[in-house]
């Protein structure tokens, strides 16, 4: 076994590899970019080497610098994870030329699968079923159109260098062929610098079933299949193993085909053979076809680990270190069923836009496996994939594993970024999905019902209001001595783009009336907890002005800075004063600047909240009385505006 390895990756997969390395007594070297200096994978590793700027091209894609980092730290091998350099054959060559071991397949095996047409030829020769179609060298449009006629419409045009649906066009009828060909070619040329295409029979409502394979360069075994049909725009959302409806005959046929594929290229390490399956009449051994082979460990490998009990990273390290395959095919069994859901920082209602943010609070279900590259306090930055975690559950049956997934999602708490948690929860509760009716079109068909996010109830809004006012903390034991008198406070909160006001009439430390819109909610503290009209409070987190209630996959509220309201109400004096003691975080103007009413002048941090100080009127900055970094008292003058000479200014 290796003494020390370097992990040429970041995030959850780097952490995942480090965990197994540690279990095997192998030392680890992390690499990191400027954006990841304090990342979890850096903290977990025994050593860490800085490799450059936050953009992948300046760090995680710099093969030469990563190889140098391995050499200077005395690492003997490099684990590439997935993405980045994991399927770059030139990097594999460079690693080996430096006298290091690449934990993965040979450069030749990666190259053999790199181009779709060559891979299809190779697979055909190896006796692996491929989708009927044309994958030859003749790229003459007339010839391709003739091939499409021979295959029969509808057909798919695919870029030979393609992946993830790029350069792919569905053609329903012959008269659309020529235009679709031009557009597929154009896209392929731009994306891959290679405009060659192949033509395939279009498989309607296909399922994506892939087989995990593992080779030692000579022998190969398969570790059964995963169903990854639940996708949105070629992004996998929930994966499972085994595939629902799989029969022993079909499993054997697919497993044997995948092993033939692996052996045909002398495959070493973990790989995945992707098949497209026509499941319109159930799963049948003559209705699956090779699509492509992924020559890396995949994101969804944990579902295979769950049903086989095998640590695939351990197998990767052992085989790369020269051991033979750790098991024979007949030693491998499926135990139960497993699901993986990918938790992303993304704005689902906005069209699944990637989101960023500092995860002020992060909690996973202790009853599920959570593979994550972030901890509470870490940021999801715009530089990398916004995945927060993979949540993996296992059970004796599909039904139990799915119920456990739904529960694990309900137990997941994230504050600080919007996430797809509600969407995942809706999928886990989808009736067709529960019946195992999965195909690659499910999410698109039911998108509307899967993306409804019920807004918070009045009771939840009342809880958010008390949280905003700091009234939900544990009641101090001496509170009986404080003087409580009827007191009404108001708080402005935004929620799902809407602003509402809550009036809180305090009747005692454990008793408030909260008015939200037309509704009055009684908040009482009893039996050790808060109740809102008899509904128990839900877990929540507060980070400055942001409040997250962990109910219904998370309700986010932002408390509106009361000072902004003052500014908005027309505070028109010359002095901008600190409304409370705090730290001046930033000053955005200089003496002599002209400012307009409402313009942001400075930020004061007080009570863990950032308060924006705005100009109460149009004017000119006469003087800065403090700078950023100053600690100030309540009432301290911070900025002075020049005397207003326009007498008639309202
Ligand atoms: C297909 C297909 C139907 N028929 N090929 C999508 C990405 C690329 N890897 C191949 N893809 C497809 N190829 C034939 N002959 C349908 C898809 C496809 C798809 C495949 C797997 C998972 C999700 C998908 C979503 C849309 C289309």
CA of 205 to the centre of ligand 1 (A): 9
pLDDT tens figures, 615-647: 878 889 999 998 888 888 777 889 988 876 544
What is the arithmetic mean of pLDDT over 371-378? 98
Percentage of the chain lying above the pLDDT 90 cut: 76
Catalytic, 296? Answer yes
Report whether residue 131 contacts ligand 1, using a CB cutoff of 6 Å: yes
Helices (H) and strands (E) in the chain, counts: 18, 40
pLDDT at 357: 93
What is the Cα–Cα distance from 5 to 87, expressed in whole angstroms?
Answer: 18
Residue with tokens 């393609």: 162
**Is the confidence at residue 565, as pLDDT, over 90?**
no
> Exposed, middle or buried, 285 (CB in 10 Å: 0-12/13-18/19+)?
middle
169-188 average pLDDT score: 94
pLDDT at 500 over 50: yes
Structure tokens at 232: 């949105």
pTM: 0.85
Average pLDDT of the segment spanning 585-614: 83
For 13, the token pair is: 């997969």
Nearest C-alpha to atom 6 of ligand 1 is from which residue?
A: 165
**What is the DSSP secondary-structure string of 456-513?**
PPHHHHHHHHHHHTT-SSPPPGGGGGS----EEEEEEEEETTEEEEEEEEEEETTEEE
Nearest partner of 114 among 63, 164, 161, 168, judged by Cα:
161
Q: Which atom of ligand 1 is nearest to 133's Cα?
A: 15
**Is there an atom of ligand 1 within 6 Å of 237 CB?**
no
441 lines ligand 1 (CB under 6 A): no
Name the CA dihedral angle for 49, 52, 54, 58, rounded to a multiple of 10 degrees: -130
The number of angstroms, rounded, from the C-alpha of 413 to the middle of its chain's C-alpha atoms is 15
Quick one: pLDDT at residue 477?
46
Look at residue 605 in the predicted model and tell me its pLDDT.
81
Assess whether the C-beta atom of 26 lies below 6 angstroms from ligand 1. Answer: no
């Amino acid at each position: 076994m290796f003494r020390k390895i370097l992990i040429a990756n970041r995030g959850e997969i780097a952490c995942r590899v480090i965990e197994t390395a540690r279990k095997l007594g192998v030392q680890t070297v992390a690499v990191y970019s400027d954006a990841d200096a304090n990342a979890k994978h850096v903290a977990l590793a025994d050593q860490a080497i800085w490799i450059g700027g936050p953009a992948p091209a300046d760090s995680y894609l710099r093969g030469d610098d990563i190889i140098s980092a391995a050499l200077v730290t005395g690492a003997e091998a490099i684990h590439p994870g997935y993405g980045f350099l994991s399927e770059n054959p030139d990097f594999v060559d460079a690693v080996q030329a430096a006298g290091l071991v690449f934990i993965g397949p040979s450069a030749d095996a990666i190259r053999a699968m790199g181009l779709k047409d060559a891979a299809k030829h190779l697979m055909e020769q190896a006796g692996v079923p491929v989708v009927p179609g044309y994958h030859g060298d003749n790229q003459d449009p007339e010839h391709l159109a003739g091939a499409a006629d021979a295959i029969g419409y509808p057909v798919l045009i695919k870029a030979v260098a393609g992946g993830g649906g790029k350069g792919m066009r569905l053609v329903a009828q012959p008269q659309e062929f020529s235009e679709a060909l031009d557009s597929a070619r154009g896209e392929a040329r731009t994306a891959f610098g290679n405009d060659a295409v192949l033509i395939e029979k279009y498989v309607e409502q296909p399922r994506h079933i892939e087989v995990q394979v593992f080779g030692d360069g000579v022998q190969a075994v398969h570790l059964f299949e995963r169903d990854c049909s639940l996708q949105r725009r070629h992004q996998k959302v929930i994966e499972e193993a085994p595939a629902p409806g799989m029969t022993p005959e079909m499993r054997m046929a697919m497993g044997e085909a995948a092993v033939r594929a692996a052996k045909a290229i002398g495959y070493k390490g973990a790989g995945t053979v992707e098949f497209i399956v026509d499941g319109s009449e159930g799963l049948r051994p003559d209705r699956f076809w090779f699509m492509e082979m992924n020559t890396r460990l995949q994101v969804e490998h944990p579902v295979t680990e769950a049903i086989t009990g095998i640590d695939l990273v351990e197998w990767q390290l052992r085989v790369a270190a020269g051991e033979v395959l750790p098991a024979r095919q007949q030693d491998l069994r499926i135990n139960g069923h497993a699901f993986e859901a990918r938790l992303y920082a993304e704005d689902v209602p906005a069209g699944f836009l990637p989101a960023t943010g500092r995860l002020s609070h992060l909690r996973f279900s202790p009853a599920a496996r959570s593979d994550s590259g972030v901890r509470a306090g870490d940021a999801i930055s715009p530089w990398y994939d916004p995945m927060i975690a993979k949540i993996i559950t296992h059970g004796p049956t599909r039904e139990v594993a799915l119920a456990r997934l739904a529960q694990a999602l309900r137990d997941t708490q994230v504050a600080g970024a919007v996430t797809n948690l509600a969407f995942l929860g809706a999928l886990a509760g989808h009736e067709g999905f529960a019946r195992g009716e999965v195909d690659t079109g499910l999410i698109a068909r039911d998108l509307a019902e899967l993306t409804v996010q019920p807004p918070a109830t009045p009771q939840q809004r009342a809880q958010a209001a008390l949280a905003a006012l700091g009234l939900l903390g544990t009641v101090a034991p001496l509170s009986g001595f404080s003087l409580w008198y009827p007191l009404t406070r108001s708080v402005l909160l935004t929620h799902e783009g809407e602003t509402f006001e809550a009036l809180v009439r305090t009747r005692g430390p454990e008793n408030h009336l909260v008015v939200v819109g037309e509704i009055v909610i009684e908040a009482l503290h009893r039996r050790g907890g808060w109740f809102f009209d008899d509904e128990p409070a839900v877990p929540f987190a507060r980070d400055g002005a942001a409040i997250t209630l962990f109910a219904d996959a998370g309700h986010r509220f932002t408390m509106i800075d009361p000072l902004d309201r003052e500014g908005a109400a027309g505070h028109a004096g010359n002095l901008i004063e600190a409304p409370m003691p705090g730290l001046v975080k930033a000053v955005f103007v200089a003496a002599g600047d002209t400012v307009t009413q409402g313009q942001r002048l400075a930020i004061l941090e007080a009570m863990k909240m950032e308060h924006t100080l705005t100009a109460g009127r149009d004017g000119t900055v006469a003087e800065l009385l403090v700078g950023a970094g100053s600690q100030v008292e309540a009432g301290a003058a911070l900025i002075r505006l020049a005397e207003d000479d326009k007498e008639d200014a309202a």
